[in-house]
Amino acid sequence: MKIESVELLRVGMPLVSPFRTSFGTQTLRDVLLVRVITPEAEGWAECVAMADPLYSSEYAGAAHRVMADHLLPRLFAAGGEVTAAAVAPALAPVRGHRMAKAAVEAAVLDAELKAAGVPLSRHLGATQSHIVSGVSVGIHESVPELLNTVGGYLTDGYARIKLKIEPGWDIEPVAAVRKHFGDDILLQADANSAYTRADARHLAGLDPYGLLLLEQPLEEEDVAGHAELARLLTTPICLDESIVSAQAAHEAIRIGACAIVNIKPGRVGGYLEARRVHDVCAAAGVPVWAGGMLETGIGRAANLALAGLPNFTLPSDISGSDRYYRQDLTEPFRVTDGTIPVPDAPGIGVAPIPEVLDQLVTQRETLRPTG
């Protein structure tokens, strides 16, 4: 495809309620969108970098600038005809910035598939038409407040509950949810790197509660520590932040650092690399599930397409739009009978609602090839 221009848009998305994790509290998402314009179609993508460098070293402002100053000039210099498969090699000389690269690639891929009339799910090899939806529950001020929130999500039909934990908010809330709602609910915990190896004995206190998994208890770089922890706990260890590529997934599995992998396309550099992570895990017999970064409908639609691949066998973090936003950028995604349908229209299957986008956009920048 010939890229005529690329528009970078910043959008302020207020959350329905504050979302607290071990690394901070979010009340507003500073969303960076990428719009690729070609003669045949427009492609949309969402950069999942947060407003601040807390989940990872990337953040929305830096992602915006690295796209404008480094990634898009390289993409434009790649020549007249650009394909999604050629984006990663063209951007490879720029170190890191996986979330920014993922958004550029995803926008090109969306335009390419829309022009060809092919849904992203089919392109990636999805075999599932509906995705089992779980919900991520942030850290609360009290256990009774937490129980009330979890009860509401179970009433809404969510198939799995994930509790965010941190030191001082871990064993007690997990035990309370398990006791109150019983052994039948699917329950897991996510630490977002809040613990150290010295906390191994304490974390073993989660073992009696039958968790599906304990997600990313240690720092991103401490893959060896996760392998040690995995030998001490009966609760399966799942890696999130540590898995930044298919190679990283292979090495973590090889040393026994995880029994389950969370896949977030932005974290690994794009949907094409995410598919490779899926394939590495499938070959090793390690199940995967789809993580979330509080995406709007743009990112949510693409994540649903990926989550349809066959080795996504655990409930996802892809929840209904109303979990986070009163008004999504796209038509809202809704949970019905615990599932969300995979979009089947070409590309990601959705686009922003123009009037909603115009109301919420805070900044626009358009870049074009020179010459």
Per the DSSP assignment, residues forming a β-bridge with 316 are 133
- Considering only CA atoms, which of 72, 138, 32 is closest in space to residue 363? 32
Burial class, 103, CB count within 10 angstroms (exposed 0-12 / middle 13-18 / buried 19+): buried
Q: Tokens standing for 43?
A: 């492609």
Kindly report the average pLDDT of the chain as a whole number: 95
Instruction: State what percent of residues in the chain have pLDDT above 70.
Output: 99
Tell me if the domain spanning 122-341 has CATH number 2.30.29.30. Answer: no
Residue ranges, comma separated, of all CATH 3.20.20.120 domains in the chain are 122-341
Q: Tokens standing for 119?
A: 């849904």
Q: Is 101 a catalytic residue?
A: no
Q: Which CATH superfamily is domain 5-117+354-367 in?
A: Enolase-like, N-terminal domain (3.30.390.10)
**Tens of pLDDT along 130-183?**
999 999 999 999 999 999 999 999 999 999 999 999 999 999 999 999 999 999
Query: What is the pTM assigned to this prediction?
Result: 0.94
Catalytic-role residue among 101, 114, 162, 164: 164
User: How would residue 364 be classed by pLDDT, with cut points 50, 70 and 90?
Assistant: very high
Please tell me the predicted confidence (pLDDT) of residue 371: 63
Please tell me the predicted confidence (pLDDT) of residue 323: 82
Count of CB atoms situated within 10 Å of the CB of 330: 22
The enclosing H or E element of 253 equals: helix 246-254
**Tens of pLDDT along 257-283?**
999 999 999 999 999 999 999 999 999
* Mean pLDDT across 36-58: 94
- Considering only CA atoms, which of 121, 115, 119 is closest in space to residue 42? 115
* Mean pLDDT across 81-109: 96
**Tens of pLDDT along 96-142?**
999 999 999 999 999 999 999 999 999 999 999 999 999 999 999 99
Amino acid at 75: L
Residue 212 · residue 314 · CB < 8 Å: yes
Give residues with Cβ within 8 angstroms of 65, minimum separation 6.
none
Q: Is the pLDDT of residue 28 over 90?
A: no
Please tell me the predicted confidence (pLDDT) of residue 311: 98
Residue ranges, comma separated, of all CATH 3.30.390.10 domains in the chain are 5-117+354-367
Q: Is 264 a catalytic residue?
A: yes
